[in-house]
Amino acid sequence: MTSRPRSIVVLTGAGISAESGIETFRASEGLWANHHVEDVATPQGFARNPQLVYEFYNQRRRQLLTPEISPNAAHAALAKFEHEFDGEFLLVTQNVDNLHERASSQNLIHMHGELLKMRCLNSNLIFDVNEDFDYDTRCRCCRSAGNLRPQVVWFGEMPLQMNRINRALENCDMFIAIGTSGNVYPASGFYRTAKIKKASTVELNLEQTDSSFDQRVYGPATESVPLFFESLLHS
């Protein structure tokens, strides 16, 4: 039984949304098996062929907006825990879907951006978006075409709200990573930052990753996350 911490940072990755029907990146049938990362997830790829990038994100946005996609028991368990826990709680997600907010999580950072937002390259203003967009789509602020990009963080770009994330990591006494392969920096280094500050570190994943967490729980997130957080609440 884990003793109850006072300050918790949770990091989620694509694995938490897998059982909601959203593909992970690095599985054999995952997103990167069917798309070249450098074409669809780098600023250089976007500059070379914006239409390809728009289409990649249009497809994923359309999928996210279908009624079949909804938060699962793992998203719900995190929201319930946050609501009932009397300490500090920060949820950092690498995911660009909106399943954590739809499950009612509150203190949430999307470090790699959001699929349902776009940004004007002229003004940096950010807009909600539910529809497809392409190179001819006119920006809502400057009315120009070709000025909009997905509000996501590509390779080589700085993830969002890093100062706030680092502060929380340095002050937490428990760090929990859920459904992430630990392949992408800087998220892959969060457990080390927490460990240096003597926090206990926990991994919940379908399978073992290369990172050395203090505690590991293997299984589908819809089973492991509700069980783990329920036991933490009553510890």
Catalytic residues, by residue number, are 112
Choice from 9, 10, 14, 202 touching ligand BJW (CB under 6 A): 14
Residue ranges in 85-220 assigned as alpha helix (H): 99-102, 162-171, 190-196
Choice from 38, 84, 157, 170 touching ligand BJW (CB under 6 A): 157
Q: 211-230 mask for ligand BJW (x: CB under 6 A)? A: ---------xx---------
| Residue 103: CB atoms within 10 Å | 20
Q: Does 138 bind ligand BJW (CB under 6 A)?
A: no
Choice from 5, 8, 10, 24 touching ligand BJW (CB under 6 A): 24
Q: Does 71 bind ligand BJW (CB under 6 A)?
A: no
Beta bridge partners of 221: none
Residue ranges in the chain assigned as alpha helix (H): 15-18, 31-34, 37-40, 43-48, 50-64, 73-84, 99-102, 162-171, 190-196, 221-233
Q: Does 135 bind ligand BJW (CB under 6 A)?
A: no
Q: Does 170 bind ligand BJW (CB under 6 A)?
A: no
Choice from 136, 207, 210, 234 touching ligand BJW (CB under 6 A): 207
Query: Would you call 203 exposed, middle or buried from its count of C-beta atoms within 10 A (0-12, 13-18, 19+)?
Result: buried
Rounded Cα distance between 142 and 133, Å, is 16
Choice from 147, 201, 205, 211 touching ligand BJW (CB under 6 A): 205
Q: Does 181 bind ligand BJW (CB under 6 A)?
A: yes
Least distance CB 80 / ligand BJW (angstroms): 18
Q: What is the β-pairing status of strands 126-128 and 113-120?
A: antiparallel
Q: Name the residue whose CB lies closest to ligand BJW.
A: 15
Task: Answer for the pair 184, 37: CB distance below 8 angstroms, yes or no.
Answer: no
- Interaction site with ligand BJW (CB under 6 A): 13-15, 18-19, 24-26, 30, 41, 94, 96, 112, 152-159, 162, 179-181, 183-186, 205-207, 209, 220-221
